[in-house]
Amino acid sequence: MWIEITTFFLTVSVLLYSLFAGADFGGGILEFFRGRQLRTEQRELISHALSPVWEANHVWLILAIVILFVGFPKAYAVISTVFHIPLTLMLIGIILRGCAFTYRHYDAVKDRSHVYYSRIFVASSFLTPLMLGTIAGAIFLGRRVPNAQTFAEIFVAPWLNLFSFSVGTFTCILFSFLAAIYLLGEAPNENLRALLVTRAKTLNGLAVLSGLSVFLAAEWDGLPLLHFFLGDPWALGCVVMATLLLAPLWLSLKFRSVIWSRFLVAAQVTFILMGWFRLQFPALVVTRIVSSGLMGMETLNIYNSAAPEATLRPLVGALIVGSVLIFPALIYLLKIFKSVR
């Protein structure tokens, strides 16, 4: 039971990181697609929306990684060994995004340095979710080269493939889609709202295409993803629900209902992630091509990689106490800064 509760907290952290911090990265990506007229307004809107909350949103990732290394240390050790390179790139993205964003906001002198801050902010807002998605895709794909010997076979092949990349791209698009719709509630005027709605619609189309490309890439890489979904009613249900919610989402956009569109887009992303969790459960690090001489790796699931119960019990205790303290504070924070204008 303790293993399942710990897993629950892990998935909730990943989910909330995607829903909140994901939108912050998406905001950075949106800044790249700035319209000619509303360039400054859009940047100000994004800065204004991210500033008070991005650090708190970011902590969900720290929480997830702590749960992973305390609760499932073997999985953490394997993930950080096999995916050393994309994790390092993701970390560079995290550093640069956070710093460039904050420095841009607080630099006392407004000069050419702001151009660099903005460029770095935008580029790292792409890089981080791209790598995050790549790692998630690679964990699910579980590709291992049989009898791997070379550096490329051991440390590159597991993540540098079409499927992982397509999941990375999908993540970027999904996050910017989230951002466009969340920002709608904070846009100060109708011009900006209209721009965001256009962006949201384009990104919605892209998200659907990119979602389909994930299935195609899976086939290309020999992963029968469609087959997995068709064989699992719950996972299939999640994808169907995410797709069906498109209709009410478009309606809510049409009527500019901020609350509903925020809720519906968050629900969509939640369903997509739930579908992934469902399919991967109970595996934490998948290894689909098991072979000898591969650093002794096997598929690690939540049961065979979990820490002893003596560790999980106080971990769950800490997480519950933490939640009791964090959630009211977080809701207060969001209430101050994210109430609909």
Partner 1 sequence: MTDLFAARSQMAISLGFHIVFAAVGTAMPFLMAMSHWKWLRTGDEVYLRLTKAWSKGVAIFFATGAVSGTVLSFELGLLWPEFMKHAGPIFGMPFSWEGSAFFLEAIALGIFLYGWDRIPRWVHWWSGIAVGLTGVLSGLFVICANAWMNAPQGFRWVEGEAMDIDPWAAMFNKAALHQGVHMTIAAFAAVGFAVAGVHALGLLKNSKSRFHQYAFRIALTMGAVAALIQPFHGDRLAKQVAQLQPAKLAAMEGLFTTVKPAPLAIGGWPNEAEKTLDYALHIPRLLSFFAHGDFESEVIGLDQFPLENWPPVAVTHVAFQIMVSLGSTMALIGALFLWARFRSKNWFQDRRWLRAIVFCTPLGFIAIEAGWTVTEVGRQPWIIYGVMKTKDAVSPMPGLIVPMLLFTGVYLLLAVVVTALMVRQFQNVD
Q: Is 2 in the site for partner 1 (CB under 8 A)?
A: no
Q: Is 208 in the site for partner 1 (CB under 8 A)?
A: no
Residue nearer to partner 1 on the CB measure, 50 or 223: 50
For the CB of residue 15, give the shortest distance to partner 1 in the complex, in Å.
16
- Cα separation of the two ends of the chain: 44
Asked if residues 70 and 308 have their Cβ atoms less than 8 Å apart, the reply is no
* CA-based nearest residue to 141, from 286, 317, 41: 286
Among 12, 70, 216, 289, binds partner 1 (CB under 8 A): 70
| Peptide linkage before 282 cis (omega within 30 of 0) | yes
Listed ranges 159-167, 197-205, 224-232, 324-332: which one lies at the site for partner 1 (CB under 8 A)? 324-332
For residue 147 the two structure tokens come to 């009898």
Q: Is 315 in the site for partner 1 (CB under 8 A)?
A: yes
Place of tokens 């006392």: 108
Residue nearer to partner 1 on the CB measure, 76 or 229: 76
- How do 300-301 and 283-285 pair as beta strands? antiparallel
Q: Is 336 in the site for partner 1 (CB under 8 A)?
A: yes
Percentages (nearest 5) of helix, strand, coil residues in the chain: 75, 0, 20
Burial of 287 (0-12, 13-18, 19+ CB in 10 A): buried
Residue nearer to partner 1 on the CB measure, 98 or 248: 98
DSSP helix/strand/coil, 301 = strand
Among 12, 123, 157, 330, binds partner 1 (CB under 8 A): 330
How far apart are alpha carbons 158 and 142 in whole angstroms?
7
Q: Is 92 in the site for partner 1 (CB under 8 A)?
A: yes
Listed ranges 32-40, 223-231, 259-267, 315-323: which one lies at the site for partner 1 (CB under 8 A)? 315-323
How far apart are alpha carbons 78 and 295 in whole angstroms?
10
Q: Is 74 in the site for partner 1 (CB under 8 A)?
A: yes
Site string for partner 1, 96-125 (x = CB under 8 A): xxxx-xxx-xxxxx----------------
For residue 23 the two structure tokens come to 């939108």
Q: Which residues contact 51 (CB under 8 A, 6 or more apart)?
A: 105
Provide the CA 48 distance to its chain's centre, in angstroms. Answer: 22
Q: Which amino acid is at 118?
A: S
Site string for partner 1, 252-291 (x = CB under 8 A): ----------------------------------------
For the CB of residue 228, give the shortest distance to partner 1 in the complex, in Å.
28
Site residues (vs partner 1, CB under 8 A)? 51-53, 55-56, 58-59, 61-63, 65-67, 69-71, 73-74, 76-81, 84, 87-88, 91-92, 94-99, 101-103, 105-109, 151, 155, 295, 307-308, 310-311, 314-315, 318-319, 321-322, 325-326, 329-330, 332-333, 336-337
